[in-house]
Amino acid sequence: MSQESKNPVLGLDVGTSRIVVAERANGDIRYESQLNAFVTLPYSKITEAVLERKKIPHTARMGEIIVHGNESEKFAGLLNAEMRRPMTRGVLDPKEPESLGIVRQMLASMLTGDRNGRKLCYSVPAAPLGAEDSLTYHEATLRQILTDLGYQPTSINEGLAVIYSELESSNYTGIGISCGGGLCNVCLAYLSVPVLSFSIAKAGDYIDASAASVTGERANLIRLAKESSFHFNGAFSDKVHQVISVYYDDMIRSLVSALKDAFARTSHAPAFNRPVPMVLSGGTALPKGFRDRFEKILGEQDFPVKVSEIRLAQNPLCSTAKGALICALSDS
């Protein structure tokens, strides 16, 4: 990000699939996004020199070079290999030995400029239903990394960040849903106060892995097809798209079912005197027709909260980072 800003605060979305930084400068919000992924290459001085010359983010150590961020996708395609992820299901992956180092390196390379005491708000997922204590390590570790880098970090629930980003017109009252790679995060807020938050583990990665197991394609190729050409149109001549649609439907139905059950069970939901808006964000919500398909499946349920509208976030990939920035700005 830029080294100068009239508002020296940052918003940070640390997602399973992407890391996004938001910063306000000259009246606009600017974003930087990198894939939260990496690949390893055999070490050679020539390769290292070329990567440095091309300014491709990487780390050289112990006979190998680790390329991380957006360029990892290109190298994975060339090597016919899967990208590795430092996070899974919204949190640092305990089974990936490189997870902590990669996330630290990526944050250090993306968060440039003056760090001394700069305020930063970063997103954390809601706990999956029935697993309320599973986020302590993840949130504390990110806080420590950011503190070590010189920031004053605070955290915000991912679904609440979507509400801050998209629902100012309703006084931050409504339902924010972030459909990401590892999780779908949900938050219900009343006048900016979070009333209910939860997540489910069926999201983009679930679609990719499930479709890959059926088609025999690599999960990364499924993700590329999903993001570049898939859309909901009811008829598919391509098998990969047809399989993706099956697992998309399964994900949406699981999300709607979890919404209905969680909202019906909560005993402290406010009695809204009018229907509330619902906003969808995240990379998994990007395919054309997703909003319509979600609305249709939600309409089949007896949903306990009256909804005035269901709409897509203005910038679904950056909505969480924008909401985190708004939170940081409000505290500065």
**pLDDT digit string, tens, across residues 103-115:** 999 999 999 888 8
One domain, residues 96 and 83: yes
One domain, residues 88 and 142: yes
Query: At 163, is the pLDDT very low, low, confident or very high (cuts 50, 70, 90)?
Result: very high
Q: What is the pLDDT of residues 13-36, one digit of tens each?
A: 999 999 999 999 888 999 999 999
Kindly tell me the sign of the dihedral angle through the C-alpha atoms of 133, 100, 23, 282: negative
Query: At 4, is the pLDDT very low, low, confident or very high (cuts 50, 70, 90)?
Result: very low
* 302 vs 176 pLDDT, higher one: 176
Q: How many CB atoms lie within 10 A of CB 252?
A: 22
Contact 178, 281 (CB under 8 A): yes
2 assigned to some structural domain: no
197 assigned to some structural domain: yes
201 assigned to some structural domain: yes
One domain, residues 56 and 102: no
Burial of 148 (0-12, 13-18, 19+ CB in 10 A): exposed
One domain, residues 53 and 112: no
One domain, residues 173 and 291: yes
User: Which run of H or E residues covers position 262?
Assistant: helix 239-265
The two structure tokens encoding residue 123: 């997103």
Percent share of the chain, pLDDT over 90: 80
The two structure tokens encoding residue 163: 């509400």
One domain, residues 14 and 159: yes
Query: At 228, is the pLDDT very low, low, confident or very high (cuts 50, 70, 90)?
Result: confident
One domain, residues 179 and 240: yes
Flag whether pLDDT at 252 surpasses 70: yes
Which pLDDT belongs to residue 331?
A: 85
Which pLDDT belongs to residue 268?
A: 72
Across the beta sheet with 38-42, the strand order is: 38-42, 64-68, 58-61
4 assigned to some structural domain: no
One domain, residues 292 and 192: yes
- Amino acid in position 121: C
140 assigned to some structural domain: yes
Question: How many structural domains does the chain have?
Answer: 3
Give the predicted TM-score (pTM) of the model. 0.93
Distance CA 110, CA 297 (A): 39
3 assigned to some structural domain: no
Average pLDDT over every residue of 300-315: 94
One domain, residues 123 and 19: yes
Distance CA 314, CA 292 (A): 16
Flag whether pLDDT at 134 surpasses 80: no
Contact 164, 172 (CB under 8 A): yes
Query: At 2, is the pLDDT very low, low, confident or very high (cuts 50, 70, 90)?
Result: very low
- Residue-averaged pLDDT of the chain: 92
One domain, residues 137 and 250: no
Which pLDDT belongs to residue 8?
A: 85
Flag whether pLDDT at 286 surpasses 60: yes
Give the CA distances from residue 166 to residues 102, 127, 302, 305, in Å, rounded to whole numbers and listed in that order.
31, 22, 25, 19
One domain, residues 85 and 136: yes
Which pLDDT belongs to residue 233?
A: 76
64: containing domain: 38-71
Q: What is the pLDDT of residues 187-212, one digit of tens each?
A: 999 999 999 999 999 999 999 999 99
One domain, residues 20 and 66: no
Query: At 235, is the pLDDT very low, low, confident or very high (cuts 50, 70, 90)?
Result: confident
Average pLDDT over every residue of 120-140: 87
Query: The domain spanning residue 18 has which CATH number?
Result: 3.30.420.40
1 assigned to some structural domain: no
159 assigned to some structural domain: yes
